[in-house]
Chains A and B, each alone.
Chain A
């Protein structure tokens, strides 16, 4: 799975496709540290791991909490090898504390 995704990434990169926008929603302490509830990224396609790296570069203050957080596409948390497509609803869930 991981090898396949990496191959797709490489091919996408070589194809030089145009970028779209990805809106990433932040919650709770993550939003507080970032100073915003949404980050807009230029994005075409890449894994959740690549997204995690880009978010940290754009907003260095969240790197520590981001490393403990989960990336979700809509409701479902995804593995870092999962491909994130342009236009997806991306949510970054810091460690949860309900109850």
Chain B
């Protein structure tokens, strides 16, 4: 297995994420675009009021797969840097659950990389969310499209 890309920075954290802190990178004259995506807990889904989301992960496997995704994005879009931080545990409405920040030569690559990374975070990283509604009901989210496969789990980052 290839080593992960040296400019991949990923983490799972259990407290609030300071999203903006990930934009303050060292000066890199090849960078013309930085895109920061912040995924937050939405207060309603399909008319149901959400009180909070609770995230669970196989943490070591999640970090492993996040590193793989970041490495693939770095190579595919020639990024200068790729950061993915996912929060675990309870995330109240309005707070960040995931942050993705990439630096690229041009905005097209940066936007494309972030879009791709978020799709893959949702379908190929062992992290799960449980919705806690305002009436105290809890419901794990297990979409049929979220089944991990050897293909989406083990793709090389070449």
Chain A residues near B (Cβ < 8 Å):
25, 27-29, 32, 65, 68-70, 72, 74-79, 91, 93-99
Contacts and interface: CB of A to CB of B under 8 A. Distances in A.
B103 interface: no
Q: How large is the interface on B (under 10, 10 to 19, 20 to 34, 35 or more residues)?
A: 35 or more
A98 B127 CA distance: 5
Nearest to A74: B61
B71 to A, nearest CB: 14
Nearest to B55: A98
B3 interface: no
Interface of B: 39, 55-58, 60-62, 64-65, 86, 97-98, 118, 121-130, 140-150, 152-154
A76 B82 CA distance: 22
B116 to A, nearest CB: 13
Contacts of A95: 142-148
8 contacts: A65-B142, A72-B148, A76-B154, A94-B142, A95-B142, A97-B146, A98-B86, A98-B128
Given A28-B130, A93-B126, A98-B98, A77 B154 contact: yes
B128 A29 contact: yes
A74 B75 CA distance: 26
Contacts of A69: 147
B144 A68 contact: yes
A91 B62 CA distance: 12
A72 B126 CA distance: 10
A65 B142 CA distance: 9
A75 B142 contact: no
A29 B138 CA distance: 10
A75 B65 contact: yes
Contacts of B98: 98-99
B133 to A, nearest CB: 15
Given A72-B153, A77-B149, A79-B150, A99 B143 contact: no
Contacts of A70: 147-149, 153
Nearest first, the 6 closest Cβ-Cβ pairs linking A and B are: A98-B127, A29-B140, A95-B146, A28-B128, A77-B153, A97-B141
